[in-house]
Amino acid sequence: MPWNGSAGVAQGRYEERADDGLTLIGCRIANAVRCVPPGNLPLPAELRSCNGFLAAELRAMPRLRVVLALGTLAHTALLRAAGLRASHAKFVHGAVHTLPSGLLLADSYHVSRYNTATRRLTPAMFAAVVGEVMRLAGA
């Protein structure tokens, strides 16, 4: 998805290499699963097995204020990692949910090729969600 990355969460230039020098600023990227499953879609058992790692990542960031979930799968995994049922908050693109701990959970459609090619998610839509996350984070 063409987007200039002007949200201010990274420094450097992204060149699709691990050593490209791109550095995140005040943010972290975490995944609902720790590996890439066959077909790139994790099974429920894989999500359950990996959820403890996600919960540990959340606990390791005591100053964390906002989490951006890319897609329903991430949204549900974050709720479970926070000790909540999937029914606690419904995934809605652009929604922000306040969890009992005070953590804010923001939702965006996943930036997959399918979502961007079909324009279900446009660069403007994604930039709006990231901008709101940045505002909520106090950036």
What CATH number has the domain bearing residue 33? 3.40.470.10
- Six token digits for residue 104: 């804010």
Q: Is position 102 within any domain?
A: yes
Which tens digit of pLDDT belongs to each residue from 101-132? Answer: 999 999 999 999 999 999 999 999 999 999 99
**Domain tally, the chain:** 1
Render 2-47 in DSSP notation, one character per residue.
----TTSSEES---SSTTS--EESS-----SSSS--GGG---HHHH
In whole angstroms, what is the distance from residue 113 CA to residue 9 CA? 22
Beta bridge partners of 105: 67, 97
Which residues constitute the domain of residue 43?
10-137
Q: Is residue 115 part of a domain?
A: yes
Residue 3 included in any domain: no
pLDDT at residue 94, rounded to an integer:
97
The answer to whether residue 78 scores a pLDDT higher than 50 is: yes
Looking at the domain assignment, is residue 32 inside a domain? yes
Position 100 in a domain: yes
Q: What is the pLDDT of residues 44-55, one digit of tens each?
A: 899 999 999 999
Tell the residue number behind the tokens 């790139």, with chain if given: 40
